[in-house]
Each structure stands twice: as structure tokens, then as C-alpha cells.
A and B are shown apart, each in its own frame.
Chain A
Amino acid sequence: MTVRVRLNAIEKRYGPVVANDGVSCEADAGEIHAILGENGAGKTTLMRILAGLERPDSGAIEIDGKATTFRNPKDAMRAGIGMVHQHLSLIPALTVAENLALGSQDYSGRNPTAWVRIVRERANALGFDIRAEAPVWQLSMGERQRVEVFRLLFHGARILVLDEPTSILSPLEAEQLFSQLRQFASRGNTVFLVTHKVKHAKAVADRVTVLRRGRSVATADIHGVSESELAELMVGKSGVFQNGARIPRSEVAGGVLLRLENVGVKSIACPSGVNDVSLQVREGDVLGIAGVSSSGQDEIVAAITGTAPHSGTITWSQPDAPRAFIPSDRTGVGVALSLSVKDNLSLRNYGRTEFRSGPILNTKRLGDAARELIAQYAIQTDTPDAPIATLSGGNIQKVILARELSREPQMIIAENPTAGLDLATTILIQKELSKHAARGAGVILVSEDLDELLALCDRIIVMHDGHVAGTFAVSEDELPRIAAAMTGITIPHGARQMETSENRSAARATSGAHVVSR
């Protein structure tokens, strides 16, 4: 095989920050190459350089053995390089075909009907299932991403760069994407997959380059390294990934903290609404809520946290006990971006009597409390007074975590608490949740990451299309049934022996998981 892309000693600085410090990597034709690293390791910068969006300070790019410089994305596109960004760039109000017409030389002089036909033909030829006439806002995130990939191929890309493509996908959609990428590579094309998930790199890549703090620490054949080796390369020696942040707890849970009976919530995402949800959480319980996105999880959380009207009954055993809520929309709900780190750490506490006398704030005490939390949770910030918008995503989540958990909550409701975060922060968050459960707090963990649910929870409720599709004890044996329930299929208990090895592995693939064993 020939070397299609070679990046040699790429260096890129933003002021004092070194994003890429002499990074090298290469990929052959027909290869899927994973760029693996934690948040801030320099993965995205490197790929933006390859796609012509950034210019390196030094270093060389070779395409098919020829040294090349890209002044802009157009140059890169001409060389056959296309990038799918983490935040998709389609225009929601336009149809798929209209989006494809933008920036396309082929479009000029054609009428819309003929254009739709061309788009369809090309999609069929490339094996893409695409609704050409649907407006983009009607498509799921997975479909939109497929359109993005298709658009690049449509424009003639031979080298695809995908930046964290699975962060917006359900496990099933991720698997579909992977198979599409394999197909694309098998035709002699090259794929760069930027990810921080070891598992995804293992699942789809041929080779992997690991970045850490702006340096390439290793390039390896994917079959020659284990997951734990890759994880160790990513985070360095200190924070080696361990499956199962779960701390063993006594088997008998305490008293019931929260009970939902036949709760229903009106919903935009699920047209039929969310109906008949019953569940209970005891002291020390970790209850997982699984499901593909928009299956009703958000509505149930909104009902529990009191932000949405509901039918049925929700009973708290101690209505006044402190509760923690870690929302999935961190920057939209969890923090106020224009306020300081200190203010964001204080915003659930400033009304408490120890921080005020009458209406007058004790700013010194609030500042001390904030500094303590910053130290305790190792939040990386220059000063407590810095705007929280200057922090990385992981540190913003740590601020939310510190604020919520420092209240010694009796109940913790966490929505996708580790989504998109680096390994070290993920482990920290999972450990904290377990620690508080062991202390006797009840935890509701809503997550799209089945691995996480399996690692942390005692029981998992699967939501599908607005109702509870099943409640499962956490064990390896239940995995196929959990995965099936997520897609709306019920496998009866008695049918265990009918299970073939084939649908079992399908279920594993669906979960994006390799089974956690304990």
C-alpha cells in the first residue's frame, strides 16, 4: 500500500499555548487511521491543519508523496481532503439537496428537480440512504452526519477527516457510521477518525496515533495494542483506565427516597408523549435510565426536577433534603458563561444563611468556599474570578460537579455527566457518583453510554418511545435484552436459549460496548 497522507513534525502555537508540538503521523490508501487523545491533546488542531483550516507554524504535509501547502479549505478540498466537524455545518432550513448545491460547481444551470435526481443517483451509487428532499431540521443527528459525509464524497473527497463523529450518535448509529467508513476505505480511500474513545478506535481503525499534550506519543497497528495500553498512552502513567468505577455497596438498599407512579409528561420530542413511568430510588441506589436519545429521558428528568408539569404522582420521602442536578446541557443550563468561576460555584449556595446576613452577601466566605472547591476538585483556572467561559469543557463540568456534590445531596440526578469529556475527568465523575451512592445518596444516572450505565448502576430502566421498555438488573447476561429494548424489541426471558451468537454480537455492537465484567 502507498502512503496517502503524511504529516511531518507539525507545529502549531496559539500565543503561549502549544497545540501541536512536532506531531507526525501517516495513513495509507484504504486505511482508517484513528487519532486518539484526551480533550486538548491537539487532535482537532492537527486535523484542521490537514483540512486547510489552520496553517502550521512549521512542519510538512505530503499527499501521495508530494509536499503540499494548503492556504484554505478549498485547497485541501482540491487535494481530496474533506472534514466533518463536531458541530455540523448543514443549514437546517434547507433541504438535503439544497445543502448539497451550496458550493457545488455542478449545480449551476440546473433546475431543482434535475438536481434532486443527480443527488439521488450519486447517493445510490455510493451506498448512502439519504432523503434528498427532506429539510435538514427534520433529520436526526445521525442522518445529518450521514449527509455531511455524503456531501464530502459528493464533492470528490478521497481523504475523510471526522472529528469526534460519535459524540452525537446513538450506539446503533455509530455502528452504521463505522460500517460506512469501512466501505469507503475498502475502495482505496483514507479516513482519519478523531476520537477520545479507545473503544471506537479499536472497533473501526486499522492503525492509531495517540496524542498527548500536543505530542504524538505512539503510532501502532490497532491489533497490536490492547485497550488498556491505549488508555495508558492517552492519559500517561497516572490515570490508567479501570473498568468499573463502581464501589461495592451493601446489597440491601435503604429506605425509598423517591417514588414515581404512573408519571406522564407532554413532549415535543415524543409525539405520543411520555406515559406511565413508574420507578423508585432507594438510599444508596444507582438507577440507570438508558435509551436512544429523545426516548423520553429528558422529560422524566424534567418532571423529577420540577421543571415540567406532569401527571401521576412523584413522592419524595424528604422533600426538603438537598438534591444535586447535573444537567446534560452544561453551558446552556449548568453554568452562566458570562459569570466567573466563583459565581458559578456559588449559585446554588449564596442564599444559605452561612453565606449572608439578611440580604447582604458574605463575599469573603463565598470566595473561600469557591477556592476550596477549586482545590478539592482540581479545577484548572487562573483565578476564581476568571469568566467560566475561559475554562475547558471538562473543567466546566467539574465546576458543576463540585457545586452540586458539595451540598451533600440526598439525591443526585445526573444527565450524560461524562459525555464528550476526557478520560481522566470521566473517571473522576464516575468515582464521585459511586462515592456518594456509597455514602447513602440515591443516584439517577441518565446516559447514552451503556458502558457507563453497566459500570455504575444497580438497575437500568430502558426508555423507548416515551415509555419504560423494561427494567433490568445489571449483569452481562442482560446486555442483549437491554440493547434490544433500546430499539423497541422485547426479548422474553424464556427466549434466552434461542439467542444465537450472531444477535448477541449484534447487541454488543449496538451498545458500542465490550462487556464489562466484574
Chain B
Amino acid sequence: MKPSVGRAGSVMWKISLTALPLAVAFLAMSAIVYSVGRHPLTIFSGMIRNGVGSLLGLTQSVTLMIPLLLCALAVAIPARVGLFNIGGEGQFHIGAIAATAIALHVGTLPRIVVVPLMCATAALAGGMWSALPGWLRARLGVSEVLVGLMGNYIGILLVGYLVHGPWKDPSALGWPYSAAFPPSATLPTIGTTYIHIGLLFAIIIAAAALWVIRSTTWGFSSRLIQANPATARYAGVPLIQYVIAAMLVGGAVAGLAGLGEVSVVQGRLRPDMSPGFGYAGFLIAWLSRNNFAAIVPVAFAVSALYVGADALQLTAGLPSSTVDVVAGLVFFAVFLARTIAAPTWEGADA
């Protein structure tokens, strides 16, 4: 039986497919909040105030959005050739390590040299970290999910090794930190905020990816691979190159996220830099259906949600895991709605 094109294709339908489950998620959240003896309205208004309602909240949300958006792009770009880059977390940490290596060894050079060098190294390192699962996938058919996942542990543990061992800062009073980045190894920021040039990178990358997918032969080939690899092979698309390239670019973007955090937000390499940016990126990419136009606002919304809910610890005395409950409810509700409504041929939007 043919699903109706009109309904599934309309913008209103797509919006309501996200808006409706969001409403359901917040209703469920209200019930939970109510059950622990709080009034949902005060809690939600607190979330909004903390997330976007004040200059501080807004600044925090934009700051957090940078690694989230970059990690989401790291998932969405490989997804456009049908791959799951679950290894964003590892690529993030490897990018951070690469940036730290530059900062610690040649960080005293002029900033105009150090910053581009850090960007290039972090991107390259993250890219190589994901190109490996890409290559294994393309050449040998090894699942990129498993290899990527294992790469996460290695990346995280490698950071642990470095900050406990060779890069441990003797002046850090025994804490496992590297030495602080010199000023010339700090990315440019807006004023005294932590909003750094990574935001510009992320938006440019999203825009470029949108353009590539819509308007270039590479994008056409990618869409073909995503839609049906057998057809792509038949049309003469060099699948192996595309698979490796998409993974490489994805990993490079995640590497930039690691660079931003280590260089600006933390100012040094430390073991607990990421609260799971790689996985949150997966959530954002999925919520935006790997659509490069939607991914920017969705990343901001998720970021504001995290910041808003996080502040509830202080303002409303709710536990920090409230954030995860909210995110989980949203994810689950949207997932449910899409599964129920999914037309059979549904692919990603251009």
C-alpha cells in the first residue's frame, strides 16, 4: 500500500512530529516534578530563565552548544553515507590530546601560528581516529559502530594516561591535569565569555555540508550511497573513498570540539572534560534527522535544555540527574512518535 506523500512531506507534519512528543515529554516531566513535591510551572520557568532567559544563561547555552553542535555534525556527516559514527567521544579526546601536544611543545610561538596549527592538528588527529573504523568498514566490512566504540575507551584512557603520566603538571597539587595552555594557545573568544571561534567553525561546517549535499556531485553520490549502496555501486560511485572520507571529516569535526574545550573552556587537558559530548551529538543529529539546516537550532535547544536543567540543582534543589531524565524523556517521546508515524521509505532530508 502506498503511504500518502502529501502528509508525510508537509512541513507542518514534520514540525508536529517533533512538537507533539515534546509536549508529551514535558507533561511526563511535570508528573515527575509534581511527585517530588514541586510545582512544574516554577520548575519550567526556572529552566527557561536559566537556559535562555538571562545573559548569563544565554552565554552558557551558546558555549555548551559549540561542542554539542560539532559532535552532532561528526555524527550527521558520516550518516549521510549511511554510517554510524558512534566514536565521537574518542575523536573528541584525541583532538584534545593533539591540541594539548601543540600547546605544550610549541605554545609559546605567536598566536597567529599556534592557533591554526592547533586547529589543523586536532582536526587531523580526530579525523585519523575515525578514518580507521571507516577504512576497516570500507575494506573489510567491519562494523564501524564496534570499532568506533572501542576507540572511545582508548581515547578517554589515553587522556587519563597522559595527565597522570608524562603531561602531569607538577604544580597542580597532585591533580591529574596538564599544564595550563599559554595565552597564545587559546582560541579567540567573544569578550570574556567562553564563546570561541569554534562556533563559527561549526556553523560554517554545517552550511558547507548543506551546500555539498544539495548542490554538488559529491552530495548526490552521498545521498545515493545512503539510500541504497547497491545502486550506488551500480552507478559507479567509488564507495570506499566516500566511506573513508565521510568518516574522516566527521572525526575531524569531533576533534575540533575537543580542541575548543581543552583550549578555551578548560584551559588544560584533564580527564573529565566531556560529560558525553559524543553521545549527546548522536542525540542531536538524530533529533534533526541529520539535516544540516535543522542541526544548528536543535543543538542550541538541547544545549539550553541542559543548561536550564542543570541550574535546577542550585535554584530548585533537584538532583543533577534531572538533566538526564529530561533528555531521556524527550528522546524517547520523539523516537516513539517517529516510529509510529514513519513512512516506509523515509530517508534524511536534503
Partner among B1, B234, B346 whose Cβ is within 8 Å of the Cβ of A325? B234
By a CB distance below 8 angstroms, the chain A residues around B231 are 333-336, 347
A361-B345 contact, Cβ under 8 Å, with A333-B230, A387-B5:
no
The answer for the CA separation of A233 and B230 in the assembled complex, in Å, is 39
Q: Are A389 and B217 in contact (CB under 8 A)?
A: no
The answer for the CA separation of A356 and B219 in the assembled complex, in Å, is 12
Question: Is A386 an interface position by the 8 A CB rule?
Answer: yes
Question: Is A327 an interface position by the 8 A CB rule?
Answer: yes
Q: Are A361 and B216 in contact (CB under 8 A)?
A: yes
The answer for the CA separation of A238 and B217 in the assembled complex, in Å, is 42
By a CB distance below 8 angstroms, the chain A residues around B233 are 307
Question: Is A92 an interface position by the 8 A CB rule?
Answer: no
The CB with the most chain B CB atoms within 10 A, among A334, A339, A361, is that of A339
Partner among A327, A339, A356, A390 whose Cβ is within 8 Å of the Cβ of B227? A339
The answer for the CA separation of A494 and B216 in the assembled complex, in Å, is 63
Q: Are A387 and B217 in contact (CB under 8 A)?
A: no
Question: Is A346 an interface position by the 8 A CB rule?
Answer: yes
Question: Is B215 an interface position by the 8 A CB rule?
Answer: yes
By a CB distance below 8 angstroms, the chain A residues around B228 are 332-333, 335-339
Q: Are B235 and A347 in contact (CB under 8 A)?
A: yes
By a CB distance below 8 angstroms, the chain B residues around A390 are 2, 5
The answer for the CA separation of A334 and B230 in the assembled complex, in Å, is 8
Contact with A along B218-248 (1 / 0, CB 8 A): 1110011001101111111000000000000
What is the total number of residues of chain A having a CB less than 8 Å from a CB of chain B? Answer: 30
Question: Is A360 an interface position by the 8 A CB rule?
Answer: yes
Q: Are B227 and A338 in contact (CB under 8 A)?
A: yes
Q: How far is the CB of A411 from chain B (nearest CB, A)?
A: 15
Q: Are B227 and A14 in contact (CB under 8 A)?
A: no
By a CB distance below 8 angstroms, the chain A residues around B236 are 348, 351
The answer for the CA separation of A360 and B219 in the assembled complex, in Å, is 9
The answer for the CA separation of A363 and B236 in the assembled complex, in Å, is 20
Q: Are B1 and A389 in contact (CB under 8 A)?
A: no
Partner among B217, B224, B235 whose Cβ is within 8 Å of the Cβ of A361? B217
Contact with B along A238-266 (1 / 0, CB 8 A): 00000000000000000000000000000
Question: Is A359 an interface position by the 8 A CB rule?
Answer: yes
Q: How far is the CB of A303 from chain B (nearest CB, A)?
A: 15
Q: Are A343 and B223 in contact (CB under 8 A)?
A: yes
**B-facing residues in A1-26 (Cβ within 8 Å):** 14-15
Q: Are B5 and A386 in contact (CB under 8 A)?
A: yes
By a CB distance below 8 angstroms, the chain B residues around A334 are 231, 234
What is the total number of residues of chain B having a CB less than 8 Å from a CB of chain A? Answer: 25
By a CB distance below 8 angstroms, the chain B residues around A333 are 228, 230-231, 234
Question: Is B344 an interface position by the 8 A CB rule?
Answer: yes
Partner among A307, A332, A337, A350 whose Cβ is within 8 Å of the Cβ of B217? A350
Q: How far is the CB of A100 from chain B (nearest CB, A)?
A: 29
The answer for the CA separation of A157 and B347 in the assembled complex, in Å, is 42
Contact with B along A329-368 (1 / 0, CB 8 A): 1001111111100010011101100001001110100000
Q: Are B227 and A336 in contact (CB under 8 A)?
A: yes
The answer for the CA separation of A347 and B231 in the assembled complex, in Å, is 9
By a CB distance below 8 angstroms, the chain A residues around B227 are 336-339
Q: Are B215 and A337 in contact (CB under 8 A)?
A: no
By a CB distance below 8 angstroms, the chain B residues around A332 are 228, 230
The CB with the most chain A CB atoms within 10 A, among B230, B231, B233, B236, is that of B231
Q: Are B345 and A360 in contact (CB under 8 A)?
A: no
Q: Are B217 and A351 in contact (CB under 8 A)?
A: yes
A361-B234 contact, Cβ under 8 Å, with A336-B228, A338-B227:
no
Q: Are A336 and B5 in contact (CB under 8 A)?
A: no
By a CB distance below 8 angstroms, the chain B residues around A356 are 217
The answer for the CA separation of A361 and B224 in the assembled complex, in Å, is 14
Q: Are B215 and A363 in contact (CB under 8 A)?
A: yes
Q: Are B220 and A361 in contact (CB under 8 A)?
A: yes
The answer for the CA separation of A15 and B215 in the assembled complex, in Å, is 36
The answer for the CA separation of A337 and B236 in the assembled complex, in Å, is 18
With CB as the reference atom, state the residue of chain B lying closest to A382. B5
**A-facing residues in B1-48 (Cβ within 8 Å):** 1-2, 4-5
Q: How far is the CB of B123 from chain A (nearest CB, A)?
A: 21
Q: Are B234 and A327 in contact (CB under 8 A)?
A: yes
**A-facing residues in B322-350 (Cβ within 8 Å):** 344-347
The answer for the CA separation of A359 and B236 in the assembled complex, in Å, is 16
Q: Are A360 and B215 in contact (CB under 8 A)?
A: yes
Q: How far is the CB of B9 from chain A (nearest CB, A)?
A: 9
Q: Are B234 and A337 in contact (CB under 8 A)?
A: no
Q: Are A389 and B220 in contact (CB under 8 A)?
A: no
The answer for the CA separation of A363 and B350 in the assembled complex, in Å, is 14
Contact with A along B236-279 (1 / 0, CB 8 A): 10000000000000000000000000000000000000000000
Q: How far is the CB of A354 from chain B (nearest CB, A)?
A: 13
The answer for the CA separation of A382 and B4 in the assembled complex, in Å, is 12
Q: Are A387 and B220 in contact (CB under 8 A)?
A: no
By a CB distance below 8 angstroms, the chain B residues around A350 are 217, 220
The answer for the CA separation of A363 and B213 in the assembled complex, in Å, is 12
By a CB distance below 8 angstroms, the chain A residues around B344 are 389
With CB as the reference atom, state the residue of chain A lying closest to B233. A307
The answer for the CA separation of A387 and B343 in the assembled complex, in Å, is 11
The answer for the CA separation of A336 and B230 in the assembled complex, in Å, is 9
The answer for the CA separation of A356 and B221 in the assembled complex, in Å, is 13
Q: Are A389 and B223 in contact (CB under 8 A)?
A: no
Partner among B1, B219, B224, B230 whose Cβ is within 8 Å of the Cβ of A339? B224
The answer for the CA separation of A389 and B231 in the assembled complex, in Å, is 14
Q: How far is the CB of A381 from chain B (nearest CB, A)?
A: 10
Partner among A343, A359, A387 whose Cβ is within 8 Å of the Cβ of B345? A387
By a CB distance below 8 angstroms, the chain B residues around A327 are 234
Q: How far is the CB of A367 from chain B (nearest CB, A)?
A: 13
The answer for the CA separation of A351 and B219 in the assembled complex, in Å, is 11
Q: How far is the CB of A193 from chain B (nearest CB, A)?
A: 24
The answer for the CA separation of A237 and B258 in the assembled complex, in Å, is 71
The answer for the CA separation of A14 and B231 in the assembled complex, in Å, is 32
Q: How far is the CB of B344 from chain A (nearest CB, A)?
A: 7
Q: How far is the CB of A359 from chain B (nearest CB, A)?
A: 4
With CB as the reference atom, state the residue of chain A lying closest to B234. A333
Q: How far is the CB of A335 from chain B (nearest CB, A)?
A: 6
By a CB distance below 8 angstroms, the chain A residues around B346 are 338
By a CB distance below 8 angstroms, the chain B residues around A387 are 5, 345
Q: How far is the CB of A349 from chain B (nearest CB, A)?
A: 9
Q: Report B's interface with A, CB cutoff 8 A.
A: 1-2, 4-5, 215-220, 223-224, 227-228, 230-236, 344-347
Q: Which 9 A-B pairs give the minimum distances between C-beta atoms?
A: A336-B227, A338-B347, A336-B228, A389-B345, A359-B216, A336-B231, A338-B345, A338-B227, A333-B230
The contact sample of 25 A-B pairs, CB cut-off 8 A, is A325-B234, A333-B230, A333-B231, A333-B234, A335-B228, A336-B231, A337-B228, A338-B227, A338-B345, A338-B346, A343-B223, A343-B224, A347-B224, A350-B217, A350-B220, A351-B236, A359-B216, A359-B217, A359-B218, A360-B215, A360-B216, A361-B215, A361-B216, A387-B345, A390-B2
Beyond A360-B215, A390-B2, 11 additional contacts (C-beta under 8 Å) are A14-B1, A307-B234, A327-B234, A332-B228, A334-B234, A336-B232, A337-B228, A339-B347, A348-B236, A360-B216, A390-B5
Q: Report A's interface with B, CB cutoff 8 A.
A: 14-15, 307, 325, 327, 329, 332-339, 343, 346-348, 350-351, 356, 359-361, 363, 382, 386-387, 389-390
